[in-house]
Structure 1
């Protein structure tokens, strides 16, 4: 190789190195910018925007009876539907309900696709690290549902059996975090996007047990033609608190919801909603 050609090659290598460095810098700048935007979104109080547009967007799993689900006609109904509308009616705000993948609920909230997670959403320490919660408005518990024909009358009878759980649910988190109640017995788990799908497999014998919210199980089984064929087992999981989830920055929104819940409890609206969906004032 000639001296001149060698110099030329060396210049090309230097230019290439500089170009790659510039591209890397731009990428890091853009990434930092996106991260900064997301961080600002999660620390911003969005109530002024909500009040201005007079709309708030609630994310939900629209198959979670009786909290939020669709009737055969396609109409969205449920306990949380009534409660959310009643709270925001106090402020002249319309509620838009957005169906989401439940396993992606926190991501949807962080990205600003929704303003609230209001759908039988359990408050727990893991979620409180990234989500702000309203006051508790309803109690729940994780229970084991089986078919009586399977002969499973206690958690230990799930030894070697297959259990159904919902992806991203508090039930799945409890199953993993507290193995002494059920996990130590179960041989296999199947994750479902909805409890409706899980019940189909339970009824067909493809799974032998289903870990599920008691509010869902009570309502679903009550409305089945063969309700007596199911067994509901309380197996030790502690009670849970249902609350509304929102971004950390939404301090005003949180105050408005908490105040609204108190007003509804005082004026009797909450008792009426409880009676409608649970047959009692809870």
Structure 2
């Protein structure tokens, strides 16, 4: 009996030692795995927009149809424009391919924050509100907002007081909407928001709106003799503004693009594009 009890005790001790050794082995493996997951270099890469687009080999660019910034040439069928060629030149220096993704401008920040696009590159007016919510590049083009109406009403609506109570079309979420809401007279008009700037012109052309607030760069290319809006004209000009490129807040991609933009300014690339598309570079 004593021998049996002794053997039983020895076996129990051996099993306990084996279990403890097993537990120690599992704990060691878990610690190693945890260290790998918390690798600082991996975390830094995950936080870097620049590293992510370099890894992906492409830059996703959010835009809307806006001539002469991003549009399809009716004669050649080619997608082109100042911003299109500008973005292509930057992507070439980044060593990635541009992917142009059409978005709804009113929800542009949602598209940016969700990762649907990496940047907003579409004649975006720089405002203090934007700079509080996203990172914005250095300015690169000068622009103004203008009032567009039918040629027959040009003299009447040159005085904005005559637009009080009238219907004025603006693109939702645009600089045009902001200046209209801030203007003493236009803020008292019946502001109608549309999804695209071109829709604002259609409203005026059809007579459902008396006027539209529009980017001058686009208006000069889209209205007047020889266009689909031959009966429309500019009757007033607002304050000057500048265009910038939008990135996620704190994005390292913004600094890199600014660096490349400076190079393209110095070598004359941007000036050539400005002359090609009839624009003025920001000073």
Give me the TM-score of the superposition, normalised by structure 1. Answer: 0.77
Q: Which of 188, 191, 198 is matched with 1:189 structurally? A: 191
Tell me how far apart the structure 2 counterparts of residues 45 and 280 of structure 1 sit (CA, whole Å).
33
For the Cα contact (< 8 Å) 2:205–2:232, is it kept in 1? no
Pairing 1:64–2:69 present: no
Q: Map Cα deviations across residues 10-43 of structure 1 (whole Å, 9 max, x no partner).
A: xxxxxxxxxxxxxxxxxxxxxxxxxxxxxx9xx9
Q: Is the 8 A contact 1:134 1:243 kept in 2?
A: yes
User: 2: CA distance between counterparts of 1:58 and 1:280?
Assistant: 23
- CA shift in 2, pair 1:227/1:197, >3 Å: closer
1:106 aligns with 2:109: yes
Q: CA deviation at 1:179?
A: 3.0
Pick one of 158, 162, 169 that aligns with 1:164. 169
Cα distance, 1:231–1:81 mapped onto 2, change above 3 Å: same
Structure 2 vs 1, CA of residues 143 and 261 (structure 1 numbering), >3 Å: closer, same or farther?
A: same
Structure 2: gaps spanning 5 or more residues: 1-42
In structure 2, the partner of 1:212 is 214
Matched pairs, number: 236
Gaps of 5+ in 1: 1-39
Secondary structure, aligned partner of 2:68: coil
Q: 1:223 to 1:84 in 2, by over 3 A?
A: farther
Higher-Rg member (1/2): 2
CA change 1:223–1:97 in 2 (3 A) is: farther
- Cα distance change of structure 1 residues 223 and 60 upon mapping to structure 2, 3 Å threshold: farther
Distance 1:97 1:228, change over 3 A: closer
> Deviation of residue 226 (structure 1)?
7.4
Is contact 1:272–1:281 with CA below 8 Å preserved after alignment?
Answer: no
Cα distance in 2, alignment partners of residues 212 and 44 from structure 1:
37
Match of 2:223 in 1: 221
RMSD across aligned C-alpha pairs, in angstroms? Answer: 2.4
Provide the C-alpha distance between the structure 2 equivalents of 1:179 and 1:115, rounded to a whole number of angstroms.
Answer: 33
Contact in 2 for aligned 1:67/1:78 (Cα 8 Å): yes
Q: Is the 1:118–1:244 contact (alpha carbons within 8 Å) kept by the matching residues of 2?
A: yes
Residues 1:88 and 2:91 aligned together: yes
Q: Decide whether aligned partners of structure 1 residues 74 and 44 sit closer, same or farther in structure 2, where only a CA change above 3 A counts.
A: farther
1:273 paired with 2:273, answer yes
Displacement of 1:274 after TM fit? 0.8
Structure 1 residues 198 and 224: CA distance shift in structure 2, 3 A: farther
* C-alpha separation in 1, matches of 2:105 and 2:168: 19
Change in CA separation of 1:181 and 1:262 when aligned onto 2, cut-off 3 Å: farther
Shift, 1:231, TM fit: 2.9
Matched, 1:241 2:242: yes
Structure 2 partner of 1:23: none
Conserved 8 A contact 1:44-1:249: no
Alpha-carbon separation, structure 1, partners of 2:164 and 2:172: 22
1:181, CA displacement in angstroms? 5.0
Shift of 1:223: 6.6
Give the SS at the match of 2:55: helix
Partner Cα separation in structure 2 for residue 280 and residue 211 of structure 1: 20
Q: Is the 8 A contact 1:275 1:281 kept in 2?
A: no
TM superposition score normalised by structure 2: 0.77
